[in-house]
């Protein structure tokens, strides 16, 4: 009887310890989840913003002559360059020649190419910078969500182990109780058989 009582107390103590460990783990999980939650929310917001802006950010960059001519300073640079080219050709005695026209055309084409490339680069930068910022926020949230998932999995694994240990303690108690009853029953049968002799 004393061994059975001790086994019951040991099993109860083990069950209580497993429950305390599980409660502690759950508390820490909830605290960590709360700490990561703002970052998960930032990720959702960044992802939603990115999805809203994606059509604009992935739209083709269309450049044309009208856009080129509206570039700040383009007309001024064109007029100044053509004037300088004309003046240089005039000094050389070629003011109205084909060479003057070719030099002016070469200057205008070069300026247009350079301005076009700069506009394209600016347009690309204006697409990629917001994309990178929103993607960074989205990735921050994804990392926080991944951290929460890992914490949740680890917490669940630890709690399940605690529950298994508690179950094993209870099962051990029941087995010891059954063995004690079997021994008692065998002893009683043995005494009964001896009394019949």
Q: What is the DSSP string of 44-103?
A: HHHHHHHHHHHHHHHS-----HHHHHTSTTHHHHHHHHHHHHHHHHHHTT-TTSHHHHHH
Res 138 pLDDT > 50: yes
Judge whether 193 lies within some domain. no
DSSP state of 5: H
Instruction: Identify the sign of the CA torsion 9, 10, 13, 18.
Output: negative
Mean pLDDT of 64-85: 81
Token pair 């107390």 is at which residue? 9
Q: How many structural domains does the chain have? A: 1
Judge whether 171 lies within some domain. yes
Instruction: Identify the sign of the CA torsion 152, 157, 158, 164.
Output: positive
Integer CA distances (angstroms), 109 to 4, 78, 80, 119, 120, in order: 100, 10, 14, 15, 16
DSSP state of 1: -
Judge whether 196 lies within some domain. no
Judge whether 42 lies within some domain. yes
CA–CA dist 1, 166 (Å, integer): 22
Mean pLDDT of 122-139: 93
Judge whether 83 lies within some domain. yes
Judge whether 126 lies within some domain. yes
Between residues 95 and 192, the one the model is more confident about:
95
158 contact partners, CB below 8 Å, separation of at least 6: 21, 22, 25
Mapping DSSP to helix (H, G, I), strand (E, B) and coil, where does residue 197 land? Answer: coil
124 contact partners, CB below 8 Å, separation of at least 6: 61
Where in the sequence is the domain holding 83, given as residue range(s)? Answer: 2-188
Judge whether 197 lies within some domain. no
Over the stretch 81-105, which tens digit does the pLDDT of each residue have? 878 888 887 888 777 778 878 888 8
Provide the pLDDT for residue 196: 62
């Amino acid at each position: 009887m004393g061994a059975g009582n001790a086994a019951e107390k040991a099993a109860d103590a083990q069950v209580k310890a497993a429950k305390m460990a599980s409660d502690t783990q759950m508390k820490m999980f909830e605290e960590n989840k709360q700490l990561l939650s703002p970052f998960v929310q930032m990720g959702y917001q960044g992802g939603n913003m990115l999805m809203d802006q994606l059509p604009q950010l992935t739209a083709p960059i269309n450049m044309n002559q009208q856009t080129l001519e509206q570039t700040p300073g383009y007309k001024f640079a064109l007029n100044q360059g053509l004037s300088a080219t004309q003046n240089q050709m005039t000094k050389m005695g070629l003011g109205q020649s084909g060479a003057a026209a070719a030099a002016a055309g070469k200057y205008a084409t070069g300026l247009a190419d350079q301005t076009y490339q700069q506009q394209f680069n600016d347009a690309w930068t204006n697409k990629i910078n917001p994309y990178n910022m929103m993607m960074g926020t989205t990735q921050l949230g994804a990392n926080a969500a991944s951290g929460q998932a890992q914490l949740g999995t680890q917490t669940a694994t630890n709690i399940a182990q605690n529950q298994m240990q508690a179950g094993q303690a209870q099962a051990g108690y029941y087995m010891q109780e059954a063995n004690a009853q079997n021994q008692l029953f065998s002893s009683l049968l043995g005494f009964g058989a001896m009394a019949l002799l």
